[in-house]
Amino acid sequence: MKPWHLVHLQRMLRDQWKSPEELADIQNAKLRQLIRHAHARVPVYRRLFDEAGIRPSDIQTVDDLPRIPIMSRRTLHESPLEDRLARGVEPDRCRQSATSGTTGIPLKLHVTPRDATLKSLTWARAFLSRGMRPWDRMVAFIGQEHVRTASSWYERVGLWRRREVSTWAGPEAWVHEIRQWRPRALVGYVMTLRLLADHLLRAGIDDVTPSLVFHSSAVLDDVSRRFLEGTLRTRIVDIYGSDEAGCIAWECGACRGYHVSSDVLVVELLRNGNRVSPGEEGEVIITNLHAYAMPFIRYAQGDVARMSTEPSACGRGLPLLERIEGRTDDFLVLRGGKMISPHPVYHCIDHVPGIARWKAVQHAVDQLTVYIELERRHEPAAIHGAVRRNLQALLGPEVALTVETVECLPVDPSAKFRVVTSTVGAVLT
């Protein structure tokens, strides 16, 4: 952690208490700078603005944003890297990753170290606001098979100490890591946390007692929340975030709802292209005010949320979301009753180049089919082989894997798209 990191974190901690009017001024100033940058240096946005007849000077405040067409994940996914990456940004100097969300459309991200740090600070603010201290230890469940093991210099002096635990390993290994590390906080995906809690309950383990549990992906439904809080004996703090935007909103301990990080991003809720009123549900559209290597301007996040009708009770000027509706997936159930969270499945498939969209369906304990839409100009054989290898390493040789190429995955616009589904019917206590 460098001195400028602390300056920005201190500023973010201070800004959250400013009035809505002051926060709007911060937001609008950052928006104008981002629009000028995107028009001058990012070809995909230059074309978008030019085709819509928009000049940078036309976008002065958040109220002007509806003039810009919505940017979909599919559009960015299908755009060449040189079109969505800002001119002058060297890909090799960026932090690269693939989204591991639940839309079934993997998107390769490029983020400068500076922008990545600012995105991380949005998470740090949420953690701090709910009682985590800089010297507390954290265990973070990661969907990748191989996790970070090296420590940063600030971790070696006792600050922001974080141990990553692979969700590939299974609950027994997770408990071993938690006992060894003795963290005060856990952070993970709802399905992973449910598997952990179910294992603790069934095995009669009572020495895994985190003080803080942060949920950070997918939908934290009411049944899961009650189960986790009853088993882990602590409140679950829900954080709404994404790889593209960082911490979008976090659950407040004093207010009924989620504070939007409006000083670092813009959240719009739309229905049929129009902004909804407080209390009404709308599609989440985000503009990340700190993404400069690969901007996200009026980007369709793929979720539905409702803006709160209640004022802030804690004194923060940040607006409140009342409820967030995302997408839900199923557990995979293997022979002997072993359950696999969908989280590592994302990482098995999202990182394979050439996939436009995918969906995994478990038909039986020993049978899984992955349906794939291919990008243009990609041959299926190599892609199918990579997906099979990755999933076989996760699920084991006893599961028969089928990978099929389809022209178009059917999507029911009236229902949530579930990228991982199982007919086996896993149900936790």
- Which residue, 282, 318, 280, is CA-closest to 300? 282
- Contact in structure between 118 and 264 (CB atoms under 8 Å): yes
Which tens digit of pLDDT belongs to each residue from 76-129? Answer: 988 999 999 999 999 999 998 877 555 667 788 999 999 999 999 999 999 999
Question: Do the first three CATH levels of 1-326 and 332-422 match, i.e. the same topology?
Answer: no
β-pairing, 265-271 vs 258-260, is unpaired
The mean pLDDT of 44-56, rounded to a whole number, is 96
pLDDT class for 429, splitting at 50, 70, 90?
very low
Name the DSSP class of 254. Answer: S
- Which residue, 36, 113, 38, is CA-closest to 83? 38
With pLDDT > 70 as the criterion, what percentage of the chain qualifies? 95
Which tens digit of pLDDT belongs to each residue from 281-301? Answer: 899 999 999 999 999 999 998
Name the DSSP class of 71. Answer: B
- Contact in structure between 102 and 419 (CB atoms under 8 Å): yes
The mean pLDDT of 19-40, rounded to a whole number, is 98
- Contact in structure between 354 and 383 (CB atoms under 8 Å): yes
- Which residue, 108, 68, 110, is CA-closest to 85? 110
pLDDT of residue 427: 52
Which tens digit of pLDDT belongs to each residue from 347-377? Answer: 899 888 888 888 999 999 999 999 998 887 7
Q: At the topology level of CATH, where does 1-326 sit?
A: Rossmann fold (3.40.50)
pLDDT of residue 351: 83
pLDDT of residue 126: 97
- Which residue, 261, 5, 12, is CA-closest to 117? 5
Q: Is the pLDDT of residue 7 over 50?
A: yes
How far is it, in rounded angstroms, from Cα 25 to Cα 419? 39
- Look at 180-184, 216-220, 271-275, 363-367 and tell me which has the smallest mean pLDDT: 216-220
pLDDT of residue 107: 85
pLDDT of residue 324: 85
- Contact in structure between 283 and 300 (CB atoms under 8 Å): yes
pLDDT of residue 414: 43
Q: At the topology level of CATH, where does 332-422 sit?
A: GMP Synthetase; Chain A, domain 3 (3.30.300)
Q: Is the pLDDT of residue 339 over 80?
A: yes
Give bridge partners of residue 335 from the DSSP assignment: none
Which tens digit of pLDDT belongs to each residue from 157-175? Answer: 998 999 999 999 989 999 9
- Which residue, 185, 197, 242, is CA-closest to 216? 242
Q: What are phi and psi of 373, to 5 degrees?
A: -95, 130
Residue identified by tokens 């609950």 is: 171
Average pLDDT, the chain: 90
pLDDT of residue 100: 55
How far is it, in rounded angstroms, from Cα 193 to Cα 198? 9
- Give residue 383's identity as a one-letter amino acid code: I
Q: Where are the domains of the chain?
A: 1-326, 332-422
Give the predicted TM-score (pTM) of the model: 0.83
User: Cα 429 vs. chain centroid, distance in angstroms?
Assistant: 26
